[in-house]
Structure 1
Amino acid sequence: MTETTTQTAHAVTMMMPDPAATTGGEVATQLGTELAINTGQIGFTDAQRAALRQLGIEDATDGDLAVFFHVCQTTGLDPFRKEIYMIGRNTKLTEWLDNGEGGRRKVERYVTKYTIQTGIDGFRRKVREYAHRNGDTLAVEGPLYCGDDGEWKEVWPGKTPPVAAKFTVIRNGEPFTAVAHFDEFVQTNNIYEGTGQGRKVVGQEPNSMWAKMPRNQIGKCAEAAACRRAYPNEFAGLILTDAAQPTVIDGEVVEQHRPPQRARGTSALEARAAAAAAAKAPQPAADDTPAVTKPLSEASRRKWLNKMFALMGEGKAPDREDQLIVIAGILDLDTLREHRDDMTDDELRTVATQLNDWKTTGALEAQVTELINAWSLREAAQADAAAHESAPAEQGDLLDGGDQS
């Protein structure tokens, strides 16, 4: 047996699933809990729906959940093990409606579009199942990383991200190699300059996960692409979570999105607040009277408040004052409200929706912290400015250095 054959055989032993394991929708039944998706099940149970709400898709319609269940059952991927996700993003849609006078008017509104994405653990499990089902030998090589010199390395010690990552899936001795370039896959946030109406985008930077673990992220993208090349039919339609861009929904670029969900702190909060409110009702045409949002019942408002308080706690803002600061930051207020309940129904929806968006993208704690820090810096700058009111030059320097958004 050659060295290559020996290496491949060892890799197969390490990678192959238990031959007794089942595939398809039966895989999840091994959990043995009420969250298990059983063979013959036709939809999510109440317990499963409750668990899914904790994963951030509480606003999904029955139709969206039916599609998600179908994909989970047919692929055998388990959403409760975070092998597969359904992620909602606010999307701007344009419709043309009859105006009743023989003409048409353009109406734009925000709706939540859901896309189903697969975690890297889902790709790893399925590629082994496909190999076992087909009787294929299977091995992997990588990930490897390279810089501008094109030299591939197993370890990338530098602080700067690698230029690319490479991963190879070897199926029946045939290598299927995929190369993922960092600048093509990195997910970014906008960098803003200025305040208020003068705020503008001046650049982009990697989001929190890509900035913290660039090697891991780009390596997963290369690994998923190699799995797809080795089994193109089986992986058709599966999107890797870490490779999915916020501006693409199910492979189709929509006409226009609101600012990316993972924008930095107070940046784009004006647009987000408007977008969140717009998501509840169609935007009126210029010659129409403003649409009136249906008031919340007392019970519904209490549910929205409880949801907001729970998200505040998850964002490490359990104190009343910190929560008032977060509310002011999201609503772009200059002063703090006296009570957390001093919000209109639309404002409450906007705050809770924004917090939930941050939770969905994994940025909740970071965004809440940045809002609180920005408010503290602004208060400090205002206090210093008041103390040096007799020195205009120094006062101007302080204000220029503070966050006056």
Structure 2
Amino acid sequence: MNAITTFDLTSKQIALVKQTIAKDCNDEEFNLYMEVAKAKRLDPFLKQIIPMVFSKNNAEKRNMTIIISRDGQRVIAQRCGDYRPASKPPSYEFDPGLKGPLNPHGIVSATVFLWKQDPKSGEWYEVAGQSFWDEFAPIKEEWAKNEQTGKNYKTGNQTLDDSGNWARMPRLMIAKCAEMQALRAGWPEQFTGLYDEAELDRAKVIDLTASEVVEKERENHRMRAIGADNSITVTWGDNWALEKDPVGKFADEVMRFIKESTPETVAKWQDANREPLKRFWALQPGDALALKKEIEAAIARKPSRPANDELRNHPMMAG
């Protein structure tokens, strides 16, 4: 091992790390960063380990996260003695319907398989890591300024952040997230609390810490396991029973419902489905904004004729 790897740094080298690689760190953060680098035996000068400071100008939210580059990850894994890198390329799931400005290739997820050796039998088995595009891609809200109030507001539109590599190399970036997921799953002692930079690109644009991003992914994974990730539980007024509708069809179903219902029924439906509507906003903010306007217009309109369910009870229909 070279001098830096064994962490035999001179005072001049330590000062250089502070002035360059860790220039955003305060003293406490820098000390922590150097201790982690020492414990993991990683080289700061080779960018194997990098400190990333979030909310630098906000003392209450300020948070430093340790980034391990891909080279650093493999150095740590190789030292474990029970690790072998992937023997095949990442596998991808695509959906042509998702292809667009927010997802250039229509990627649903990437899965990476690493190899771990069983300490008892000596046999090798695969450790899978899977990452989903909609959980890690740095998609940010578009903001505009209200000329009258001078305040910024969300337009309801979204864009894929193009300051990094997600727009240029989307498959590589989501695969890096999947590989780190596999490393944490197979070697938790070595990789818990450490992150790949690709995992944090989303955190940069939505103002979350690294741990919050990963916890959100775990929560979404649990939601997928119970079939709740791509559906919305809603009531359509038929005795107000609950049913699940796919997210992709939710807006169309709402439009059909409000066209067939009176303003009073739509208002009652909106009040009964506040939480499902919030969930739809979180999943599809652009569509949710348009749908909100349609619902408000439906409630405000004057019915030109009785709705179907009221027509049967109209005096003119009495036998």
TM-score where L is the length of structure 2 = 0.53
Structure 1 residue aligned with 2:130, among 179, 185, 195?
Answer: 179
Cross-structure match for 2:306: none
Alignment of 1:67-146 (within 5 A): 67-90=32-55, 112-131=62-81, 136=82, 138-140=84-86, 141-146=88-93
Cross-structure match for 1:231: 187
Contact 1:91-1:110 at 8 Å conserved across structures: no
Distance in 1 separating the partners of 2:193 and 2:112: 20
Q: Specify the code of the residue in structure 1 equivalent to 2:142.
A: I
Contact 2:143-2:152 at 8 Å conserved across structures: yes
Q: CA deviation at 1:111?
A: 6.4
Cross-structure match for 1:248: 208
Cross-structure match for 1:54: 20
SS at match of 1:142: coil
Asked if 1:216 is matched to 2:216, the reply is: no
SS at match of 1:229: helix
Q: Specify the code of the residue in structure 1 equivalent to 2:55.
A: N
Contact 1:185-1:243 at 8 Å conserved across structures: yes
Alignment of 1:3-402 (within 5 A): 27=1, 29=3, 36=4, 38-39=6-7, 45-55=11-21, 57-90=22-55, 112-131=62-81, 136=82, 138-140=84-86, 141-148=88-95, 159-172=104-117, 173-194=124-145, 197-201=150-154, 202-208=156-162, 209-244=165-200, 245-246=203-204, 247-249=207-209, 251=211
Distance in 2 separating the partners of 1:219 and 1:250: 18
Cα 1:190–1:53 shift into 2, 3 Å: farther
Cross-structure match for 2:312: none
Contact 1:119-1:242 at 8 Å conserved across structures: no
Distance in 2 separating the partners of 1:225 and 1:45: 36
SS at match of 2:52: strand
Q: Specify the code of the residue in structure 2 equivalent to 1:206.
A: L
Contact 1:85-1:118 at 8 Å conserved across structures: yes
Task: Give CA-to-partner distance per residue, 1:69-103, whole Å, 9 cap, x none.
Answer: 1100110122211111101122686xxxxxxxxxx
Contact 1:28-1:76 at 8 Å conserved across structures: no
Contact 2:5-2:42 at 8 Å conserved across structures: no
Bigger mean CA offset, 72-81 vs 113-122: 113-122
Contact 2:104-2:170 at 8 Å conserved across structures: no
Distance in 1 separating the partners of 2:83 and 2:60: 48
Distance in 2 separating the partners of 1:220 and 1:248: 19
Identity %: 22
Distance in 2 separating the partners of 1:167 and 1:178: 5
Distance in 2 separating the partners of 1:92 and 1:54: 19
Contact 1:28-1:77 at 8 Å conserved across structures: no
Task: Give CA-to-partner distance per residue, 1:320-344, whole Å, 9 cap, x none.
Answer: xxxxxxxxxxxxxxxxxxxxxxxxx
Task: Give CA-to-partner distance per residue, 1:275-309, whole Å, 9 cap, x none.
Answer: xxxxxxxxxxxxxxxxxxxxxxxxxxxxxxxxxxx
CA RMSD of aligned residues (A): 2.8
Distance in 1 separating the partners of 2:15 and 2:192: 27
Distance in 2 separating the partners of 1:51 and 1:92: 21
Distance in 2 separating the partners of 1:252 and 1:206: 20
Cα 1:243–1:69 shift into 2, 3 Å: same
Q: Specify the code of the residue in structure 2 equivalent to 1:241.
A: E
Cα 1:146–1:111 shift into 2, 3 Å: closer
| Aligned residues between the structures | 191
Distance in 2 separating the partners of 1:187 and 1:61: 27
Q: Specify the code of the residue in structure 1 equivalent to 2:33.
A: F
Contact 1:167-1:222 at 8 Å conserved across structures: yes
Q: CA deviation at 1:28?
A: 5.3
Q: CA deviation at 1:169?
A: 0.7
